[in-house]
Amino acid sequence: MSHPLFDIRGRVALVTGSSRGIGRALAQGLAEAGCAVVLNGRDRHALERTRAELADRTGATVHAQAFDVTDPGAVAEAIPRLEDLAGPLDILVNNAGMQHRAPFTEFLTEDWHRLLETNLSSAFLVGREVARRMTARGSGKIVNICSVQSEVVRPGIAPYSATKGGLKMLTKGMCADLGPSGIQVNGLAPGYFDTELTAALVADETFTAWVRGRTPAGRWGQVGDLVGALIFLCSPASDFVNGQLLYVDGGMTSVL
Ligand code: NDP
């Protein structure tokens, strides 16, 4: 039997951006741990496909709520609706995100705004709406999906790094504001993971050789590598952990 400190059976969790990739794997991990899970994304068909697959695979209660996490009106409307459907949220994972690469001097203003809205404003909007409700109940766990780029950078992704660095400080600020109400807000910071977001990099042999050489674990992360850390951050085992970033990067950020 697993340790009671890691028991999250019966909790209700929302994972934003969970129709594929990291969000999908995190939602599956929570469902396998006994949570009822609400999936989110913009593409209704992809979302419904994932909902049916996860429900089938895990036997858990899996809901799907399509809305755009960058739209303040849609978020304000969606959170009460999904709580009516699934029950009060115990866990929020702010995962929805995007990447766009370009040399700094060629970066378009619209791409800067798209990155900022998708990777940072979304966590503020969804986090604020959910935190209002968690505060009234006096408990909750919020996990913001940050990145190694919250800490270190590479050429071509300055705006992405700015959003992830901002998310790190939003995590700490939310911890300061919400900790007294019994809510923990932490960051989970993946290294390089093989998903649709990184497909072009995975296919690039030079880049993949760089990732392998730069990562003490010697490989790309696979989405399942993140699940154990998420369960820790959502469980009573982390009740006194607040405002921290947990790097799951095969050691990448620790070495020069
Ligand atoms: P993917 O591109 O594979 O998946 C992104 C998910 O977010 C999709 O489900 C997408 O669905 C959803 N999404 C995007 N924009 C919105 C929006 N405006 N509203 C609602 N949902 C949205 O990305 P990953 O799984 O690779 O990345 C997930 C998170 O992990 C991101 O925050 C990313 O920055 C972070 N990360 C990823 C790393 C990696 O190496 N892959 C490394 C470090 C961090 P839809 O298109 O239908 O809206």
CA-CA distance, 95 to 154, in Å (whole number)?
21
Which of the four pLDDT bands, split at 50, 70 and 90, describes residue 42? very high
Q: Which atom of ligand 1 is least distant from the CA of 190?
A: 43
Q: What angle, 0 to 180 degrees and rounded to 10, lies between the N-to-C axes of helices 122-137 and 72-86?
A: 40
CATH number of domain containing 32: 3.40.50.720
Confidence check: pLDDT of 116 > 70: yes
Domain count, the chain: 1
Q: Whose CA is nearest to atom 6 of ligand 1?
A: 17
Answer yes or no: is 226 within a domain.
Answer: yes
Answer yes or no: is 151 within a domain.
Answer: yes
Q: Whose CA is nearest to atom 12 of ligand 1?
A: 17
Answer yes or no: is 207 within a domain.
Answer: yes
Answer yes or no: is 252 within a domain.
Answer: no
Work out the percent of the chain whose per-residue pLDDT is above 90. Answer: 99
Average pLDDT over residues 56-62: 98
User: Is the separation of the CB atoms in 186 and 171 below 8 Å?
Assistant: yes
Which of the four pLDDT bands, split at 50, 70 and 90, describes residue 2? confident
- For residue 22, what are the contacts with CB-CB under 8 A and spacing of at least 6? 95, 145, 190, 193, 195, 223, 226
Which of the four pLDDT bands, split at 50, 70 and 90, describes residue 7? very high
pLDDT value of position 1 = 59
Answer yes or no: is 254 within a domain.
Answer: no
Residue ranges of the alpha helices (H) in 87-154? 109-116, 122-137
Which of the four pLDDT bands, split at 50, 70 and 90, describes residue 256? confident
Confidence check: pLDDT of 221 > 80: yes
Answer yes or no: is 256 within a domain.
Answer: no
List the catalytic residue out of 160, 192, 220, 247. Answer: 160
Q: Say how many C-beta atoms besides its own lie within 10 A of residue 191's C-beta.
A: 22
Average pLDDT over residues 70-97: 98
Mean of pLDDT over the chain:
97
Work out the percent of the chain whose per-residue pLDDT is above 70. Answer: 100
Confidence check: pLDDT of 163 > 70: yes
Q: Whose CA is nearest to atom 11 of ligand 1?
A: 41
Answer yes or no: is 170 within a domain.
Answer: yes
Q: Is 160 a catalytic residue?
A: yes
Average pLDDT over residues 203-225: 97
Beta strands, E only, 42-165:
62-66, 91-94, 140-145
Domain span holding position 26 = 4-247
With CA atoms as reference, report the closest residue to 89 among 41, 24, 30: 30
Pocket of ligand 1 (CB under 6 A): 16-23, 40-43, 46, 68-70, 95-98, 118-119, 145, 147, 190, 192-193, 195-198
